[in-house]
Structure 1
Amino acid sequence: MMTELDLQLATEFDNLPSEEQFHLWADSVLTLFREDSELTIRLADAAESQQLNFEYRGKNKPTNVLSFEFEAPPGMDLPLVGDLLICPHIVYQEAIEQEKTFHDHFAHMVVHGCLHLLGFDHIEPADANEMESHEKEILAKLGISDPYRDDAE
């Protein structure tokens, strides 16, 4: 079982996770569902995040993570799952607001984004519960506490 990662640094930010960390986080999700996977994680500035969030989701603001699922043409079996675009500036702000460590919150964004690439979503409550339970389980195996622990308050 293997995940191939293309990490693109399109912005500068202090204390970014290492390529090994990104690989571990993506691998911890993708290998549960697929034997081989390829994905790109692009770390982008707020302007690029905002532009793509508006273009693809109609929301004119930067966001933490965008997932672009790859759909292979019929009859082609490729290991490519898609692309994640993550904005470290937003992840950092959220980590402070949510009182989480920067790297733990980054791990959550990678896990969350990878689950989207695999077809999970959180639009309907039952789907959200399933996705969140996967996130909690995967993050727990990585030694990261429940990212939704404050939601019930």
Structure 2
Amino acid sequence: MLDVAAQAEGWPDADWEALAARAATAAVSQSPYGEWLTSPATIEIAVRLTSDDEVQTLNAQYRHKDKPTNVLSFPMIQPDLLDTVTMNTDDGEVILGDIVLAHGVCVREAEERGIGTADHAAHLIVHGTLHLLGYDHQGDAEAEVMEEMERAAMADLGLHDPYPVRED
């Protein structure tokens, strides 16, 4: 079972908790960890929707990049331990990690793409969840795998393709 808690400070009123839960569930279902959704263990993800300033502070502190970014992920479990995570829990709960989104960056990117802020936030939560699951996009092969899972998760949500092929 997946339990997602969302906290939205300074974001417009919406059911962010439900959106975050749907997005994270779609991401997990597209990964090899989809069986977690029916596991007796509870997998927990915290999503914080906050300001550009807070994200810039976190980005500077943890990634040494002194600027806001759209999404940050803070995994609590090493990728090599993910396969056994639901089998080795004492209390039936596993904290997968935290995802943090920057409001201003999210709004600007949504406007640039011609999509709603909530839809873009859903994509960023999908993206962040995949990072919590150990996926990355540093190399072309890794990026391709991650982007395909993001596309599939977004399709499951009935939302846009976050990586459309552009004809120049």
TM tier, shorter chain?
Answer: 0.7 to 0.9
Residues 82 and 152 (structure 1), Cα distance of their counterparts in 2 relative to 1, 3 Å cut: farther
> What runs of 5+ residues in structure 2 fail to find an aligned partner?
37-41
| Deviation sequence 1:110-134 (CA, Å, 0-9, x none) | 0000000000000010000000000
Please say which of residues 74-83 and 44-53 is displaced more in the overlay: 74-83
Amino acid at match of 1:29: A
Alignment partners' CA distance in 2, 1:151 and 1:110: 23
What is the TM-score normalised by the length of structure 1? 0.88
Deviation at 1:150, TM superposition (A): 5.0
Matched position secondary structure for 2:4 = strand
One of 27, 30, 33 as aligned partner of 1:29: 27
Hey, what does 1:129 align to over in structure 2? 144
What is the TM-score normalised by the length of structure 2? 0.80
Give the CA RMSD over aligned residues.
2.1
Hey, what does 2:6 align to over in structure 1? 7
One of 33, 42, 47 as aligned partner of 1:41: 47
Hey, what does 1:109 align to over in structure 2? 124
Alignment partners' CA distance in 2, 1:62 and 1:147: 20
Deviation at 1:44, TM superposition (A): 1.4
Hey, what does 1:55 align to over in structure 2? 61
Higher relative contact order (CA 8 A, sep 6+): 2
| Deviation sequence 1:11-43 (CA, Å, 0-9, x none) | 212254532111111111224515142010011
Query: What's the % identity of the aligned pairs?
Result: 35
Hey, what does 1:20 align to over in structure 2? 18
The answer on whether the counterparts of 2:6 and 2:16 sit within 8 Å (CA) in structure 1 is no
| Deviation sequence 1:68-97 (CA, Å, 0-9, x none) | 00027x895352110001112211111011
The answer on whether the counterparts of 1:64 and 1:91 sit within 8 Å (CA) in structure 2 is yes
Superposition pairs of residues 89-108 of structure 1, within 5 angstroms: 89-108=104-123
Alignment partners' CA distance in 2, 1:89 and 1:106: 11
> What runs of 5+ residues in structure 1 fail to find an aligned partner?
none
Residues 44 and 18 (structure 1), Cα distance of their counterparts in 2 relative to 1, 3 Å cut: closer
Amino acid at match of 2:113: Q
Q: When the two structures are aligned, how many residues end up with a matched partner?
A: 150
